[in-house]
Structure 1
Amino acid sequence: MPGEDSDTVRVRRLDGHLGDAGQMTVGMAGAGESLGLPASSIRNHARVTRGLGYVPESSLSTGLFGRMFRRLDPYIPDDTRIEAIARLMSEPAGAALDGKIPAGYTYLGQFIDHDITFDPTSSLQRWNDPDALVNFRTPRFDLDSVYGRGPADQPYLYEKVPGVEGIHFAIGRAKGDAKAELDLPRDSRGIALIGDPRNDENVILSQLQLTFMLFHNRICDWLTANDAAEYERHRRADEGVFDCAQRLVRWHYQWIVVHDFLKRIVDAVTYKDVLRHEPLIPQGEPVEQVRLRFFSWRHRPFVPVEFAVAAYRFGHSMVRPAYTLNARVGPLPVFTPESVSEPGGELRHLGGFRRLPADWQVDWRRFFDLGDTAHLQHARRIDRYLAPPLLDLPPELAGGSMADLARRNLTRGARLGLPSGQQVALAIGAEPLDYEDLDLPGRGPAPLWYYVLREAELHDGGRTLGTVGSRIVSEVFLGMLSADPFSYLTTSPGWKPVLCGARPGDFTMADLIDFTGFGVSPQPSPAARRGAR
């Protein structure tokens, strides 16, 4: 709309005018509702990130969340249609639905989501600031979910290691036993002392958080070994060991986000269209440059609701019904429908917010391709189906209402006034899926989240996202990275990873795990043991 702020978070009513979503009454509750807050006081993925639930009714023109396709009218299915679509999304019993992507990337995707929607504030502050304008920083791939507010503001996350310059993360032990497996550091109640409490939501995710903490510790050791030769080679002006290590951790992580994770999940044509290799000057060496067609902002980048509530929720379809954690534990679901507080229930699922049980240290060879694929588990392919555990959430996640995650996602998309999948396809110049391809009851529009999943299923057998999903995810990821003044893409677009991966000049999640030495053998690496307490 001419004159409309590019960062607007208001929503167009069905008649095409700009107005309050609270006036939409198509079988929906107030747009600010959160579909039942989880009973637990600890945040988790079922809880709405602060500010997201208020996007339709906000009159303010800046914030963490906004809209990518501002000129498209909302599609608001009623409860009956949502229920009918949700019934089509239950994983068929006995179907061969495994894809080609290693299972660990499902949780790496969740880890990345928590990084770009970092929300460290208390629940009280979240209610006082419903528009999410006060305490949020620009969404960046900067690992603030790991580093928190840093050693000056949150010193309890860190510790100094005798004889080693620089600050390490404090590392815990399972059950508090000094000889037990490594775990996140925890207080006496078992609550994880980490930058973002959501990263303790399940055991796989918490062990991934721990791996990144150990990665930082290992880089500190690497920089200061052999008379600090690597530190002198890689540090920048006024960088101490901690700052240098933090930058290298972030840049290697950003490389993984772009060249390992994103490259696996989006269509190759779209990936190459958004991330281009072109010289900055005539006859110069080609460097990475980003070209955005649909994701734009006026003041600072934001997280589009089309991404947060639809396209990026493709990861829910990748969740397996159960996982084998190591040679002794599993297969177990990520969670069960029964309350985790029931006696003995803690050993029947991989849910988090607790100390790591004995013998539960992850074997990453079962989640990422570390060369030995004999026991490698694969994520479900990207399609419209959700595994049974996601359709019957436990009370701690469901908050006492709507335990079916398919219904929750569809309802949230309606409450936030997302456009239909067909509308977005037309907006990007793609041929929309026809009614037969969508396989929905009736001939009405498709909710954007369902459309993205069904499109991926038909595009390449669920190996990657399709055209609409790939475009949204690619532009948001690379747009955020290019807008970050401290990212490798902005600061040094010709930069290559300095750590040795399996392939020179490249660095993957498997390389990061191999560098830490954690989760690839029964015993933690010497560097990890030295950093543990």
Structure 2
Amino acid sequence: MASKHHGMLPFKGLEHLCEIGPFRPGRFARLFSNLPPLYVDPLILHEIGKAGGKMEDKGAPNLTGNVPAGMIFFGQFIDHDITLDDSSSFTATNDPQNTENVRTPTLDLDCVYGDGPEAHRYLYDGAGKLLTGADYADPANPNDLKHNDLPRTPKNTAIIGDFRNDENRIISQLQLGFLRFHNTVMDLVAAKPNAPSGAQLYNEAHRIVTWHYQWVVVNDFLRTICGNWIVDDILANGRKVYRPEHICAHEPFIPIEFAAAAYRFGHTMIPQKFSIKPGGPKHDVFGTTLGTGFKPVTSPNEVVEWEAILDSGNGLFERAGQVDTKLAKLLLDLPFMPPTTPAFERSLATRNLLRAQSFLLPSGEQIAAAMIAAGADEITTDMIEKVRDAGKKLGLPKATPFWLYILAEGGAIGRMDENAQGKKTFMKGEGLGPVGARFVAEVIIGLLELDSRSYLGSNRNWSPADGADKIGVNGVTTLYQLLTA
């Protein structure tokens, strides 16, 4: 069971040295192939990431002021949509060019739709709608818990496009929310005058749902985590760092620096306890209510009410933890791991550090300097020195692994925005710092811009707030609105 959880896939190993070869579609690749890899003694990494060590959040949790806890799980959902590496290992050197990404490197919701109603008929009802638990519930019993669960086999395996989206209760309910949103859009499109039917109806609903999802990723998730200034700058002035068109003839790919380091920032933002009902009790992230995953809903207490963990407009939501070098105690001694597992393998922090090193990643300082050279002038050498000081406090006298750099930068500098006077402001811990924000936002926006089917790749003027695809009075423009439409 442990191997199925986020970041816990089996370590099969690729026993060859890293090489820089021609780009191969469907594989990870490097953005900074010209930079030398950082090496840190693995025993030092064990010490940094161990339970009770320097990365454990021992005091009262430091929470953000305005980042909803649900956004962190949405970040995990996005990750599952664009990456799945089931072959690399932290016990061998891994070559990203030979590490297959099982997911498509596009935000196309293949984790929801699979390969469509013809190839993956088991996900659909035969008329283009996606199956939910309600299709297996007693229609005469509104209290049947299947109404608020994923569709499942008799052995309770979720019938969904990506098995990982059942690994905890929050992401399971997110998956259900997207299934329901598709079915809602199917009904809305079918009710229009001169509505399409059959495959055309499904295709139109699929496009509308996917474009709404992509809009929410850019304009809700990225703006919350990376800040408005970075997102606006990338959209207006172009990408400076993630430029696959200069590497592989416009083929989008997932940089290994993103998958193995930069996008793992969410691990530090997971609160150890939070409520999924407004005013309700707080639950351990791996407790019986939020679950260890891959189980059906067994109580109404497990059904997420989204206003508890997302911003519905009233500001009364559970906050995520701050971006810093501290992780919840449970993440440094994962409770679902067998007790015979070595201590370093039970720590998510140590696993992250070892996995990144197995891919021969450069240091965070080197990547930051390369980003400055590429034109990211919001990053300064003073910022790099400030993060370097944080790395030294962790026991890294020479350089900082990129994942730790991202976390330390968030804590020491924080999310950058611009005030009404045009002056840049920084909010420590509230989101990613300048290096992390640009790196993450450029990759995600770049994946959309290089996909001719996405709204940014095919119609940059599209908006869910107006036009033919508008849903409801004001349109669906946030994750909360999408999940409650």
Q: Considering the TM-score relative to the shorter chain, is it more than 0.5?
A: yes
Change (3 A) 1:264 1:220: same
Shift of 1:51: 9.2
Aligned equivalent of 1:445:
399
Shift of 1:383: 1.2
Aligned ranges 1:494-509 → 2 under 5 Å: 494-497=461-464, 498-500=469-471, 507-509=477-479
Mapped to 2, the partners of 1:395 and 1:272 lie a distance apart of 41
Aligned ranges 1:381-392 → 2 under 5 Å: 381-392=322-333
Q: Residue deviations 1:29-66, cap 9 Å, x none?
A: xxxxxxxxx655x4643226999998936866424211
Aligned equivalent of 2:417:
none
| 2:67 counterpart SS class | strand
Shift of 1:137: 6.2
Mapped to 1, the partners of 2:86 and 2:358 lie a distance apart of 25
Aligned ranges 1:312-391 → 2 under 5 Å: 312-326=263-277, 330-335=281-286, 347=288, 349-359=290-300, 360-374=302-316, 376-391=317-332
Shift of 1:488: 0.9
Matched, 1:418 2:369: no
Is the Cα contact below 8 Å between 1:290 and 1:478 reproduced in 2?
A: no
Aligned equivalent of 1:482:
449
Residue type of the partner of 1:156? Answer: Y
Aligned equivalent of 1:291:
239
The Cα RMSD (Å) is 3.1
Change (3 A) 1:54 1:393: farther
Is the Cα contact below 8 Å between 2:225 and 2:431 reproduced in 1?
A: yes
Aligned ranges 1:225-304 → 2 under 5 Å: 225=191, 228-229=192-193, 231=195, 240-276=200-236, 290-296=238-244, 297-299=247-249, 300-304=251-255
Work out which of the residue numbers 456, 459, 467 in structure 2 matches 1:492: 459
Change (3 A) 1:514 1:395: closer
Matched, 1:200 2:166: yes
Shift of 1:271: 2.1
Change (3 A) 1:311 1:55: farther
TM-score in terms of structure 1 length: 0.74
Is the Cα contact below 8 Å between 2:275 and 2:309 reproduced in 1?
A: no
Aligned equivalent of 1:510:
480
Change (3 A) 1:174 1:403: farther
Residue type of the partner of 1:408? Answer: R
| 1:167 counterpart SS class | coil
Is the Cα contact below 8 Å between 1:319 and 1:380 reproduced in 2?
A: yes
Work out which of the residue numbers 429, 433, 436 in structure 1 matches 2:389: 436
Shift of 1:107: 0.6
Identity over the aligned pairs, expressed in percent?
A: 36
Q: Residue deviations 1:385-441, cap 9 Å, x none?
A: 111121111345899341111111111111111111111111111311344343332
| 1:428 counterpart SS class | helix
Q: Residue deviations 1:188-242, cap 9 Å, x none?
A: 10000000000000000000000000000000111112xx32846xx9xx96110
Is the Cα contact below 8 Å between 2:21 and 2:97 reproduced in 1?
A: no
Change (3 A) 1:136 1:39: closer
Is the Cα contact below 8 Å between 1:75 and 1:447 reproduced in 2?
A: yes
Work out which of the residue numbers 118, 130, 134 in structure 2 matches 1:169: 130
Change (3 A) 1:366 1:174: farther
Aligned residues: 434
Is the Cα contact below 8 Å between 2:182 and 2:209 reproduced in 1?
A: yes
Mapped to 2, the partners of 1:200 and 1:465 lie a distance apart of 27
Work out which of the residue numbers 331, 345, 352 in structure 2 matches 1:409: 352
> Please, which runs of 5 or more residues in structure 2 have no aligned partner?
88-95, 373-378, 414-426
| 2:395 counterpart SS class | coil
Is the Cα contact below 8 Å between 1:64 and 1:139 reproduced in 2?
A: no
Change (3 A) 1:49 1:196: farther
Change (3 A) 1:325 1:467: same
Shift of 1:245: 0.1
Q: Residue deviations 1:69-97, cap 9 Å, x none?
A: 11111001112321343222111322433
Q: Residue deviations 1:334-361, cap 9 Å, x none?
A: 225xxxxxxxxxx365221011112121
Change (3 A) 1:136 1:52: farther
Aligned equivalent of 1:115:
81
Mapped to 2, the partners of 1:441 and 1:67 lie a distance apart of 27
Change (3 A) 1:120 1:45: closer
| 1:168 counterpart SS class | coil
| 2:31 counterpart SS class | coil
Shift of 1:150: 1.1
TM-score in terms of structure 2 length: 0.81
Mapped to 1, the partners of 2:307 and 2:193 lie a distance apart of 32
Mapped to 1, the partners of 2:20 and 2:132 lie a distance apart of 41
Q: Residue deviations 1:162-210, cap 9 Å, x none?
A: xxxx411111159965532310000010000000000000000000000
Is the deviation greater in 327-336 or in 80-89? 327-336
Is the Cα contact below 8 Å between 2:20 and 2:33 reproduced in 1?
A: no
Change (3 A) 1:260 1:159: same
Residue type of the partner of 1:451? Answer: Y
| 2:98 counterpart SS class | coil
Is the Cα contact below 8 Å between 2:292 and 2:336 reproduced in 1?
A: no
Change (3 A) 1:100 1:409: same
Change (3 A) 1:422 1:358: same
Aligned equivalent of 2:111:
145
